[in-house]
Amino acid sequence: MNRKQKRNLIRILVSLFLLIAIHFIPTDKVWLKAILYLIPYFIVGYDILYKAFLSIKNREHFDENFLMAVATIGAIALGEYHEGVEVMLFYQIGEWFQSYAVGRSRKNIAALMDICPEYANLETQDGIEEVDPSDVQIGDTILVKVGERIPLDGTICEGESSLNTSALTGESRPRDVKTGDHVISGCINMTSPIRIKTEKLYEDSTVAKVLDLIENATSNKSKSEDFISKFARYYTPAVCYSALALAILPPLFRMIVLHSDPSFSTWIFRALTFLVISCPCALVISIPLTFFAGIGGASKAGVLIKGSNYLEALSKTKTIAFDKTGTMTMGVFEVTTIHNSDLSKEELLEYAAYGEALSNHPIARSILKEYNKPIDKERIRSIKEIAGKGIEGKIDDFDILIGNEKLMHEHDIHVTHCHDAGTIVHIAINGIYKGHIHIGDRLKPNAKKAIEELKANGISRTIMLTGDEEKTAKEVTDQLHIDEYRASLLPQDKVNALQEILSQKKENETVAFVGDGINDAPVISLADVGIAMGSLGSDAAIEAADIVLMDDDPLKISKAIKIARKCMNIVYENIAFAIGVKLITLVLSAFGKAEMWMAIFADVGVMVIAVCNAIRALGVKDL
C-alpha cells in the first residue's frame, strides 16, 4: 500500500467514525445537524468536489466526479444529510479498492522494470570500469559478478555459471551456461563471475526491447475497451439529461395537467438517486484494469503481449500455423552423415564449409562446426546467397553450388535422393553433382505436449509451414501430431500459404502464426496474431510479433491462450453484471422504488465487485 492509499484509507475511516458518532448526538437543530454532517462530507469528499470544479471549469462536465458532486450536494440541499455523506463515502471506498487493484497489477510490471541494469563492468586497459550500459560498444568485454544482472546480450568468453532467468522467462529453474554460450541481458548471474563479449548495443538488447514492449502495451486498446470508452462518452450525458428531465417534467405534469401537488423534492431526490446509479465507473474502471492485469500476469509468466487488442484476438484463435526450425525444433543443427561420389567425404565437407563460410545461417554454422578448421578467405572468390535455396559462388577456380533440390534443378543438375529425414545440403562443382550432407535437428522437449495442450484447449487446426523438404516436414508433423503441413516453402510461399489459411477462417475467429526466424517476419505480420520466440528469435521476428515468448518454449502458447480467454471471460462477466444491475436499478429509481442505498450499491458496490473480479486476471499459476 503506497502513501496516497494509506492517506485515503485514513480519510475514509475517520469519516466513517464521525458518521457513526453523529447518529448518537441528540439534536433537533437543523443547522447543527448540517454542520456535523458536512465535517465528514468534506473530509472524505473534498478532492471529488475539487475535481468536479475543474471539470466544469474545463467544460468537461460529464465525468464521475461531476455526477458524485451533483448527487451528494443535491441530497444535502434536500436535507438528506446522512445519504449525501454515505454516497460520497462509499464512492471513495470503491475508488480505494480500484487504486489497490491497479497497484497490485502494476507490481508485475514494476518487477519487470527491475530487470533494467544500472551499470556494466567494462574491461579496459586500465582494468575494470563501471560504465552506463549504453556506453558499451559491440565487441567489448564486460565482467558480470555474482549477483549482478547481465547488462547486454553477448557470448561468454570466459567462465561457467548458473543464471536466474525468471524475470524474463517466468522459469524458476536456473540455466547453466559455459564458455561459448549465448546469454541475454536481464538475467542474474548466480554462482561465479563470467566474462561476456557483447554482440548488441544496449538499445538493441533483449532487456531494452522487453521494457519497450511493456511500456507500450497499454497503448493498443481492444475492441471491448474502445466500446466502453465510446459507451461512456455518450451514456453519461444521456443519463444526466434524463435525470434533469426526471426532476422537472413529472412534477410539472402533476402541477399543470393534474392540478395536484408537484412534489418537487420527491422527484429531485429520485433524479439524484438516478444520477448515482447511472455512474459508469464499474465499466470504465474494471474493463481496462482486467486487460492491464492480464498483460501483467502474462509478463510474469514470460509471455509479453503488446496490447489488449492482441489479447482479445488471441482469445478467439482456432487455427495456429507454426514454423519448424527454432520454433518446434531446437534449431541446433548437427551434421549426421556425408554421402559423397568421386570426392572424399573430407573434400566434400571442405567445399561445403568454404561455401558457407560467410553465412550466419544455423545450417551453415553446423557445417563449419563439423569442418572445424581455419577458413582461408583468399580461396573464396565470390559468394552469393539465394534466399530459400542456398549458396552460389566460386571457390578457388571452381564454380560451386550448395543448397536444396530447387537450386540444383534450376541448374539442371540431377541429385541423389536421401532417405533420411532432415535437412539435405546438396553440393555441385562445375555443374557436376558431388554428393550431399545430411543435417539433423532435434524436437524441442515440450513440442509434442504443446500441440496436445493446444488441441485440448479448443484449437481445431494446426499447420506447419516450413522451407524443409516434404520428407522432413512429414516426419516432424507425424511425431508432433500436427494436422497439416506445407513443405519446401520459400519466404513468399509462406506468405501465400498463410493468406490461403486466413481466407478459410470462420467469422469471429483468428489465425495465429508462431515463428522465430527473420524469414518469418512477413508471415508473423500478416497473421491475425503473430507470436515470436523471444530468446533465440531474430530481432525482425520480435519486432513484427504481437506476442513474444521469452523462453522459446512452445508450451507457453497454450498458456497465453488460457490467459487471454480468462481475461475475456472476466470482461464479459463485468459488462453483463454492471449493465444488468444498472438497468434494473435505473428503472426502479425512475418509479421511486430505489432507495439511496440501492443507488450506492448500483454504483460503488458494482464497481467494487467488478474490480475484485478484474484482479483475478493476475492469476496465472493455475493455468
Residue 212 located in a structural domain: no
Residue 506 located in a structural domain: yes
61 shares a domain with 76: yes
248 shares a domain with 322: no
Mean pLDDT across the chain, nearest whole number? 82
pLDDT range class, residue 409, cuts 50, 70, 90 = very high
Q: In this predicted structure, what is the pLDDT of residue 20?
A: 86
Q: What is the pTM of this model?
A: 0.64
Residue 384 located in a structural domain: yes
Q: Where does a domain end: 376, 408, 440?
A: 440
Q: In this predicted structure, what is the pLDDT of residue 230?
A: 64
103 shares a domain with 241: yes
340 shares a domain with 321: no
Total domain count for the chain? 4
Please report, for residues 185, 458, 618, the alpha-carbon distance to residue 107 in angstroms, rounded to integers and kept in the order given: 21, 32, 10
- What are the pLDDT digits (tens) for 561-582? 998 999 889 888 888 888 888 7
Farthest CA pair distance, the chain: 115
The dihedral through the CA atoms of 56, 61, 66, 67 has a sign that is: positive
Q: Where does a domain end: 440, 456, 485?
A: 440
pLDDT range class, residue 329, cuts 50, 70, 90 = confident
The dihedral through the CA atoms of 529, 534, 536, 539 has a sign that is: positive
pLDDT at 103 > cutoff 70: no
Q: For residue 336, what are the contacts with CB-CB under 8 A and spacing of at least 6?
A: 420, 422, 438, 439, 440
231 shares a domain with 175: no
Residue 282 located in a structural domain: yes
341 shares a domain with 418: yes
Residue 510: other Cβ atoms inside 10 A: 20
Average pLDDT of 370-392?
88
21 shares a domain with 99: yes
pLDDT range class, residue 475, cuts 50, 70, 90 = confident
pLDDT at 218 > cutoff 60: no
CATH number at residue 524: 3.40.50.1000
pLDDT at 214 > cutoff 60: no
pLDDT at 231 > cutoff 60: yes
400 shares a domain with 342: yes
15 vs 622, more confident: 15
Q: In this predicted structure, what is the pLDDT of residue 318?
A: 95
- What are the pLDDT digits (tens) for 416-474? 877 666 778 999 999 999 999 988 778 888 999 999 999 999 999 999 998 877 878 88
Average pLDDT of 121-130?
90
pLDDT range class, residue 513, cuts 50, 70, 90 = very high
Q: Are 180 and 155 in contact (CB under 8 A)?
A: yes
Q: In this predicted structure, what is the pLDDT of residue 282?
A: 66
DSSP string across 329-366: B----EEEEEEESSS-HHHHHHHHHHHTTT---HHHHH
Q: In this predicted structure, what is the pLDDT of residue 320?
A: 96
Q: In this predicted structure, what is the pLDDT of residue 169?
A: 58
Average pLDDT of 155-172?
76
Q: In this predicted structure, what is the pLDDT of residue 234?
A: 73
Closest CA to 439 of 332, 519, 323: 332
* Lowest mean pLDDT, pick from 282-291, 302-311, 370-379, 476-485: 282-291
Q: In this predicted structure, what is the pLDDT of residue 480?
A: 93
Rounded to whole angstroms, the Cα distance separating 539 from 517 reads 9
Report CA Rg, the chain. Answer: 33
CATH number at residue 369: 3.40.1110.10
Average pLDDT of 578-595?
79
pLDDT at 369 > cutoff 60: yes
Residue 205 located in a structural domain: no
Residue 419 located in a structural domain: yes
Q: In this predicted structure, what is the pLDDT of residue 621?
A: 58
pLDDT range class, residue 222, cuts 50, 70, 90 = low
Average pLDDT of 328-347?
85
581 shares a domain with 522: no
Grid coordinates representing 211 are 521494457
454 shares a domain with 314: yes
Closest CA to 292 of 232, 224, 205: 224
State which of 173-177, 515-519, 527-531, 592-596 shows the largest mean pLDDT: 527-531
- What are the pLDDT digits (tens) for 598-614? 776 776 777 778 777 87
Residue 554 located in a structural domain: no
> Would you please indicate which residues are annotated as catalytic (active-site) residues?
323
Residue 103 located in a structural domain: yes
State which of 52-61, 301-310, 481-490, 586-595 shows the largest mean pLDDT: 481-490
pLDDT range class, residue 325, cuts 50, 70, 90 = confident
459 shares a domain with 404: no
136: containing domain = 120-151+153-199
Rounded to whole angstroms, the Cα distance separating 512 from 530 reads 6
Strand 182-183 versus strand 303-305 pairing type: unpaired
pLDDT at 303 > cutoff 70: yes
Q: In this predicted structure, what is the pLDDT of residue 517?
A: 62
% of the chain beyond a pLDDT of 70: 84
pLDDT range class, residue 265, cuts 50, 70, 90 = confident
Please report, for residues 241, 245, 370, 385, the alpha-carbon distance to residue 376 in angstroms, rounded to integers and kept in the order given: 84, 90, 16, 19
Q: In this predicted structure, what is the pLDDT of residue 62?
A: 61
Q: Where does a domain end: 440, 463, 481?
A: 440
312 shares a domain with 182: no
